[in-house]
Amino acid sequence: MNGFVLWAGATALLAALMTVTRTTIVHALMYLVAMLLALAAMFFALGASFAGALQILVYAGAIVAVFVFVVMTVEAGPAIAAQERARLRGAWRGPALLVALLLVPLLAGLVPGTAAALPVSAKAVGALLFGPWALAVELASFLLLAALLGARHLARRTPEDGQ
């Protein structure tokens, strides 16, 4: 099982790298879906089946669908892809160096552990969320409500749009 977790993790890392280096937004989105599904496979293998199901339903389903809707409404011609490619050709070294500097202490602080994955049932997660963490769930619902209203307010059509 541990081997499967590592394999799915390697797939997720590869797909994430492809996502941040594609110049066409739709290609990047497809790689993002692959990364999210690989992550869901990791969650299932780790015994966190509830998180895995949520990962597929909400991330790979809903959030990516929202991205696809926005991509459909904006212009994404070959000119924009070429511009993105030209920009990426020169400007990746500095951020890569900074990220490598960040990653070194992160990885150096890790101690190799051989923790066996203990399955956590959805029932336990639900009992946690609606028992001790009920306040956090309420706050999350407020956040979602605010995001809903904000998105509705920002994306509405107004006269100065000129359409």
Partner 1 sequence: MLAIAAALFAIGLFGVMARRGVLFQLLSLEIMLSGPALAFVAAGSARGDPQGQGMFILILVLAAAEVAIGLSLYLRLSRIADVTDSDSISDLQG
* Footprint of partner 1 on 17-36 (CB under 8 A): 17, 19-20, 25, 28-29, 32, 35-36
Least spacing, CB of residue 53 vs partner 1, in Å: 11
Among positions 96-115, residues that touch partner 1 (CB under 8 A) are 96, 98-100, 102-103, 106-107, 110, 113, 115
Instruction: Please tell me whether residue 12 binds partner 1 under the rule CB under 8 A.
Output: yes
Instruction: Please tell me whether residue 82 binds partner 1 under the rule CB under 8 A.
Output: no
The rounded distance, in Å, linking the Cα atoms of 7 and 42 is 9
Instruction: Please tell me whether residue 68 binds partner 1 under the rule CB under 8 A.
Output: no
Amino acid letter for position 51: A
- If phi > 0 it is left, if psi is from -120 to 50 it is alpha, else beta; for residue 76 that is beta
The rounded distance, in Å, linking the Cα atoms of 125 and 118 is 14
Instruction: Dig out the tokens for 94 from the structure.
Output: 């500095």
